[in-house]
Structure 1
Amino acid sequence: MFRPLRVAAALVALATTGGVQAASLLDYVGQCVPFARAASGIQIYGDAWTWWEQADGRYPRGHVPRVGAVIVFAKTSRLPMGHVAVVSRVVEKRVVMLTHANWSRQNGERGHAEQDVTLYDVSPANDWSDVKVWYRDNDGLGGGIYPVKGFVYATGRSAAELTGRHPDDVAALIDAYVPDAGMR
């Protein structure tokens, strides 16, 4: 079970392993892997793209998003270490929200945590194998399509700060389904 004490311990670990001292999960600045571990309670280490194989036999895996699950992005030329993020909200069948770190730039630098950002399934088979992710620099979905290995399901509760008090489901749907929404 994921308890507040465990979150506090994870935040201390983040701060001592290269992350910036964080009063809350959302204050974290660093890599996506330690953030996803702290936010989900899934205790996997190593590059993000290795999480899918490492989870085999240790954690349930699948291709359906659930709150608290870690989505594992494949290793690509654009993501040489892959990426992991935690599902914070399921909006509808092809749209979810993520909470993650080290994706968009904030104040010119990467590494910051972002809460409740849009993830859109663009795979032809509706199986979450290809996605688009909201990107702050575009103020909307980025132009890239990223291959995904699947979801690793947490066996306990995820961090309380995983989703905001008032996530904007409508904005997430607009990001996903309205062409060029947010593009300038």
Structure 2
Amino acid sequence: MCAVAACGQVQTNQSSGIAPARMAFAMQEVEVLQSKGSRVWCVPFARNLSGVEIRGNAGTWWNTAKKTSYDVSHDPEVGSVMVFSATRSMPMGHVAVVSEVLDNHKILVDHANWHRNKVSLGMAVIDVSAKQDWSRVRVESAPGAFGSVYPISGFILPNS
């Protein structure tokens, strides 16, 4: 399921493993921003939803996590933050929170600003890396349609 809309119209993925209180907090913060006419960015949304307290552009999160108390992995886990590497088309990187692991090569994520100033919940992501190590993915840009290939640094695990 891919739900993309402004905050008040977002449909949540009922099977999401994200704690309801975390989701409520993240969505409340989105509503506050949008009511002020402010942009919804991926970094604060991921921080609010996951509890991973890293600052800076999404492209800096992986190296910051490796230097701090956060564990990192190349395997997705519900609640972990998937870090997209910075690229020419996405110079500040991107972050998304894993909401469900469907199988070894497909997950669902919740994130903001993949579609400009919107929150996307339950968006499918597939591993297309040659070594099947989650280093390259394709993201569902519309229901059943997967877009370009993006490099992934890995997953940051929230502290327990």
> Which TM-score bucket, shorter chain as reference?
0.7 to 0.9
1:147 corresponds to 2:158: no
1:124 corresponds to 2:138: no
Structure 1 residues 13 and 102: CA distance shift in structure 2, 3 A: closer
* TM-score between the two structures when normalised by the length of structure 2: 0.78
1:42 corresponds to 2:52: yes
- Residue 155 of structure 1 and its aligned partner are, at CA, apart by 1.8
Unaligned runs of 5+ in 2: 1-18
CA distance in 1, matches of 2:118, 2:29: 17
CA distance in 1, matches of 2:22, 2:106: 31
Unaligned runs of 5+ in 1: 23-27, 105-109, 157-184
Structure 1 residues 125 and 113: CA distance shift in structure 2, 3 A: same
Between Structure 1 and Structure 2, which shows a larger proportion of strand residues? 2
Q: 2:89 aligns with which of 62, 74, 78?
A: 78
SS at match of 2:34: coil
Percent of aligned positions that are identical: 38
Q: 1:95 aligns with which of 106, 114, 117?
A: 106
1:80-135: CA deviation from partner (whole Å, max 9, x where unpaired)? 1100000000000000000001112xxxxx12111111100000000000000010
The AA in structure 1 aligned to 2:98 is: V
Question: How many residue pairs were aligned?
Answer: 140
Runs of 4 or more off by more than 3 Å in structure 1?
A: 2-15
- Which structure's CA Rg is the greater one? 1
2:70 is matched with 59
**Pairwise CA RMSD of aligned residues?**
2.7
Structure 1 residues 5 and 130: CA distance shift in structure 2, 3 A: closer
Using CA pairs under 8 Å that are at least 6 residues apart, name the structure with larger relative contact order, 1 or 2.
2
SS at match of 2:134: coil
